[in-house]
Amino acid sequence: MAKEKDTKPMANTVIGSSIVIDGEITGEEPLTILGTVKGKISVAQSVAVEAGATVEADVEAQTVTVSGRLTGNVVARERLELKPESKMVGDAKSPRIVIADGAGFKGNVDMDV
Amino acid sequence: MADKETVVGPETRISGEVRGEEDLIVRGRIDGRVQLTQTLTVEKGATVQADVDVRHLVVSGTVVGTIVASESVKLTSTARVVGDLASPRVMMEAGAAYRGRVDMGDIAAARAAVSSRAVQRPAASEKLAIHPAPPRMATAAKAVVSGKAAAPVAPAVPAARSTIPAAAVGALGPASPPAFPRVAGAMGAMSPAWAKKKIRRR
């Protein structure tokens, strides 16, 4: 396995654009989503919802970056970022929240103030 | 179409259903069901405990579940597979461990059987219970089954089985409860006077 990690330094988890996952994703490494995930996501590191991706799930991660569409409650232990063109519906809980110009958001914000 | 390949990393686990129209490489773990129109690669160290319906399947890790591959299945030397397998082309390398039935014939029937089943169920334990018989080795010329492959099946199976303790326990569960009270009763009847005395003294 170490050999594979060497040949592929980006040995993270990537969900491709045509993939649909219905269930739960748990992990200890960065997760990049280009496709569709429904259910629950719980990872120790970062979650990136790329442009064109659809996530209908509660998300728990260290950092969450949304460029696509996310419906669900998000708990980002470090940072939540909504990029331009992103759409998010759900409650956001994170000490740092960045909402870019052009992002769409509907839900509660909890920064633990 | 996909600029990035789909990879389930070594530290990631997916439980549920995965569907798609592109290649999927598993280095971590998937439980549930996998349905792809392309290739599923289960790398060494990875575990897929799921019903699998794909075009090509390449296994170097562990797969437990019913497999339907519309074009080919390849079990490499490090593969550990338990479950029935249906595909027109089946390749097994020396060292591969496999237990289950091989069907190189009617894929449509096998696929219908798999797809009619619910997602969240312990496919593996049921298969183990129903088909304890050794695999019927494929006879087609395309299948490369080395003599060595047959021998390691037994030692290798515990490794595969160890990944499904919960399912196995679940299968055994219904049988054990009736035994328990009977054993307890017997123990009570047989427990000698000195044992009771000891308890009383305390």
Chain A neighbors of B44, CB-CB under 8 A? 1
Contact present, A13 and A27 (Cβ < 8 Å): yes
pLDDT(A1) > 50: no
Chain B neighbors of A49, CB-CB under 8 A? none
What percentage of chain B exceeds 70 in pLDDT? Answer: 54
Question: At B58, is the secondary structure helix, strand, or coil?
Answer: strand
pLDDT at residue B22, as a whole number: 93
Which tens digit of pLDDT belongs to each residue from B65-102? 999 999 999 999 999 999 999 999 999 999 999 999 99
Question: Which of the residues A17, A18, A49 would you substitute to probe the B interface, choosing the one with the greatest number of B C-beta atoms within 10 Å?
Answer: A18
Task: Report the complex ipTM.
Answer: 0.81
In a domain, B33, yes or no: yes
* Structural domain range at position B58: 6-163
Compare A58 and B137 and report the one with higher pLDDT: A58
pLDDT at residue B156, as a whole number: 44
Tokens of A98: 């960045």
In a domain, B114, yes or no: yes
> Residue B59's CB: how many other CB atoms inside 10 A?
27
What percentage of chain A exceeds 90 in pLDDT? Answer: 88
Chain B nearest-CA residue for A24: B15
Chain A neighbors of B119, CB-CB under 8 A? 22
In a domain, B95, yes or no: yes
Chain A nearest-CA residue for B46: A1
For B29, residues 6+ apart whose C-beta sits below 8 A from its C-beta are B8, B12, B13, B14, B46, B47, B48, B49
Q: What is the pLDDT of chain B when averaged over all its residues?
A: 71
Which tens digit of pLDDT belongs to each residue from B14-36? 999 999 999 999 999 999 999 99
In a domain, B200, yes or no: no
Which tens digit of pLDDT belongs to each residue from B102-148? 988 877 777 777 777 655 444 444 444 444 444 444 444 444 444 44
pLDDT at residue A90, as a whole number: 94
Mean pLDDT of A1-5: 39
What percentage of chain A exceeds 70 in pLDDT? Answer: 90
In a domain, B148, yes or no: yes
What is the pTM assigned to this prediction?
Answer: 0.66
pLDDT(B174) > 50: no
Task: Report how many domains make up chain B.
Answer: 1
pLDDT at residue B118, as a whole number: 55
In a domain, B187, yes or no: no
